[in-house]
Amino acid sequence: MAVGNKPDLVITRVFDAPRSLVFAAWTDSKHLAQWWGPRDFTNARCEVDARPGGIIRIDMCGPDGTIYPMTGTFDEIVEPERIVMTNVAIADDAGNPLLEVRNTITFVEANGKTALTMTAHVIKATPEAAFALDGMEEGWKQTLERLADFVKTG
């Protein structure tokens, strides 16, 4: 997990649909509510203000009825080709972000299909998150190795 220019996650997916529709699926709450979240989740609340500075807020509802709120802010909206948003990936009990992820979603149309690429960068939010991320990249690796050794021999 890197904090910097190198993306932490890149996912590309081709959808058999025109770009305008795929783009709308991200910016229209009516559409978003239908697909956002893991399998078997529904979205009890879905608010999208798709413009720079606008808020996205989705309350995902798990199979057991637990609500998992997701919030974010749109940094860029370039219809129909690019969306940049910052999502709160992990928050503390009071809802303060501990970890934020900047997701850049690009839409490229070819032959009536749309290639979507999502690039995620983990960005620092708080000292806690900064520690966890820096740690994972550097010191934690060693710590984990030591731990692995310990588990093996101990």
Site of interaction with other proteins (CB under 8 A) = 1, 8-9, 11, 13, 15-17, 21-22, 25, 31, 34-40, 60, 62, 66, 68, 70, 89-93, 98-99, 101, 116, 118, 120, 122, 127-129, 131-132, 135-136, 140, 143-144, 146-147, 150-151, 154
Residue 18, preceding peptide bond in cis (omega within 30° of 0): no
Q: Which is nearer to other proteins, 2 or 78 (CB)?
A: 2
Which tokens sit at 88?
């709160």
Which of 53/133 has CB closer to other proteins? 133
Q: Please, which residue, 53 or 67, has the CB nearer to other proteins? A: 67
How many other C-beta atoms can be found within 10 angstroms of the C-beta atom of residue 129?
A: 19
Q: Please, are residues 43 and 33 in contact by the beta-carbon 8 Å criterion?
A: yes
Q: Which residues contact 8 (CB under 8 A, 6 or more apart)?
A: 1, 2, 101, 120, 121, 122
CB of 37 to other proteins, least distance (A): 6
